[in-house]
Amino acid sequence: MKQQIYIHLTFEGQVINRLIMGTTKSLKVKDDYSLYNRLLEERKSVFKEVIEVNKVGNNANTLSQIEDVKQEVLSEDVILIVDVKLNNHNFFQFKLRCKDYIPNPFFRFDSDGETHRNRIEGIPFEEQAVTPPHFHKFNENGIEIAYKTDKLLDKKESKALEDINLCIIHFFHESNTRLKEDEFPEIKILSNSLGLSFKSDDPNENMVYE
């Protein structure tokens, strides 16, 4: 029987297992999967009607904004993180995270980036690769997997969801998150955060033409 080898990592007092082959595993999710399911399925609320993304995050190439999330499953604080690539606003991530629960986001959406491989026993190798855009969540074994919804599998729908404000609605539907009763926030990426530098100087100044 093939044996899988794990690297044990400690992060802010939490222990996660990362398979050498690159798969993230959370023992806390595996030990109480019903709690994790409740966290995903029960109502979560945000409070900002407009989420302004205009601050450079931990990565110098990424704009990031954090919003508080109200929920009744965990006693610890949950946050929504919106990350947008500084020079490519079509590359964004939505993350729900509670670092006192598990260090990784417990639910995530990637609009672009690397193909994720679900290395799970029983899934044929050719079906393991999940290209972006895709969601991330943990399965009953505590293994982080990527998956596509029906909308993401539909070419026209997936193209429309390149719009960050349409996509946040899809993310909120998938994670049962809302603003007020059944509304959704608007995301504004401030124009002064485009990551482009403009100069008023004439590049041809002091040039002599023959």
Mind listing the pLDDT tens digit of every residue in the chain (210 residues)?
233 333 344 434 444 443 333 478 899 999 999 999 999 999 999 999 999 998 888 888 899 999 999 999 999 999 999 999 998 999 999 999 999 999 999 999 999 988 887 776 666 665 678 889 999 999 999 999 999 999 999 999 999 999 999 999 999 999 999 998 889 999 999 855 444 433 334 434 444 433
pLDDT value of position 55: 87
pLDDT of the residue at 121: 65
Strands 186-189 and 50-53: parallel
Give residue 103's pLDDT: 94
Distance CA 12, CA 71 (A): 23
Q: List alpha helices for 10-105, DSSP H.
A: 27-31, 33-41
What pLDDT is stored for residue 66 in this prediction? Answer: 96
Q: In Å, what is the CA distance from 124 to each residue of 117, 119, 135, 137?
A: 11, 9, 20, 20
CA distance 205 to 191: 29
Model pLDDT, residue 95: 98
Task: Reduce the DSSP state of residue 189 to 3 states and report it.
Answer: strand
142 closest CA partner among 39, 40, 35, 31: 31
- Alpha carbon 2 to its chain centroid, in Å, reads 32
Q: What is the pLDDT of residue 128?
A: 73
